[in-house]
Each structure stands twice: as C-alpha cells, then as structure tokens.
C-alpha cells in the first residue's frame, strides 16, 4: 500500500483533493467572518468583493503551495496550511482594526474597489511572507 501512496500521480491527486477541501472550508470561515455574503455579492457584480475574495483564494492557495513544497507528508503540509490560514485570518481582522476611519467590511460590501484591491494585495502579499517561513 505504501507504494500506492508514493506514486507521484496519486500523491498529486491527494494533495490537490485536500487543498480543494481545505480551500472550501477556509472560504466558509471567511464567509462567517465577513458581514456580507461573498458569493451573493459576486453574483450581483460587486467587484470589491470579487477582488477581496480572489485575494483570499490566491493567498490560501499560495500558503498551500509552500506547505506542500516544504513538507514530505500530507499531515505536515495540512498543519502548516491551517496555521498559514489562521495568520491570513488574523491579517484580515488587523486590516479592519487598523483602519478606524472606515469599516472594511462595509466599504467592500458597498463596492469600494480601492478597499477591495488593498484587501486583495494584503492577502496575496502576506501569503508570500507566511509561505517563506514554512518549514
């Protein structure tokens, strides 16, 4: 059975499957963390929400990239990915906290594309910082 899991095609499919499930769970957590419904807003053409959500997707996937590249086992990669996701979630709350002049969630919901873009850039940028520290 070990040779089955050591097959690069099987290993790739396994990492891919776990990453997709984890991405969906992470997006569900972000959905709970925001005051708006991401997919409803995107369906209605809210570009700010699309930018912010796209940044979150890229950020989470990028953390997975580094986790898979730097760990030998699925379990290690998953643990580091979860840790990276938590750090991205903290960054989202810090962005809200560090901008007292306005509420990030409200601005994004109101299609303020500048705030959506900054949110995207924060997620993407910090995913590289998080990824660089993954062992």
Looking up tokens 């306005």 gives 102
Query: Averaged over 40-46, what is the pLDDT?
Result: 97
Query: pLDDT digit string (tens) for 67-91?
Result: 999 988 889 999 999 999 999 999 9
Mean pLDDT for all residues in the chain: 93
Axis-axis angle for helices 47-70, 113-133 (nearest 10): 0
Query: Averaged over 23-27, what is the pLDDT?
Result: 95
% of the chain at pLDDT higher than 90: 84
Count helices and strands in the chain by DSSP H and E runs:
7, 0
Q: What residue numbers bound the domain in which 15 lies?
A: 2-133
Handedness of CA 30, 36, 40, 44 (dihedral sign): negative
Query: pLDDT digit string (tens) for 47-57?
Result: 999 999 999 99
Query: Averaged over 15-40, what is the pLDDT?
Result: 93
Number of domains in the chain: 1
């Amino acid at each position: 059975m070990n040779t089955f899991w050591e097959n690069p095609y099987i290993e790739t499919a396994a990492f891919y499957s776990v990453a997709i499930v984890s991405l969906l769970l992470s997006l569900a957590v972000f959905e709970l963390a925001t005051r708006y419904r991401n997919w409803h807003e995107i369906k209605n053409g809210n570009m700010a929400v699309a930018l912010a959500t796209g940044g979150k997707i890229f950020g989470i996937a990028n953390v997975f990239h580094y986790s898979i590249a730097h760990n030998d086992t699925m379990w290690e990669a998953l643990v580091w990915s979860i840790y990276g996701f938590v750090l991205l979630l903290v960054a989202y709350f810090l962005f809200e906290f560090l901008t007292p002049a306005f509420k990030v969630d409200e601005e994004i919901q109101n299609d303020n594309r500048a705030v959506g873009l900054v949110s995207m850039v924060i997620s993407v940028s910090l995913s590289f910082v998080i990824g660089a520290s993954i062992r």
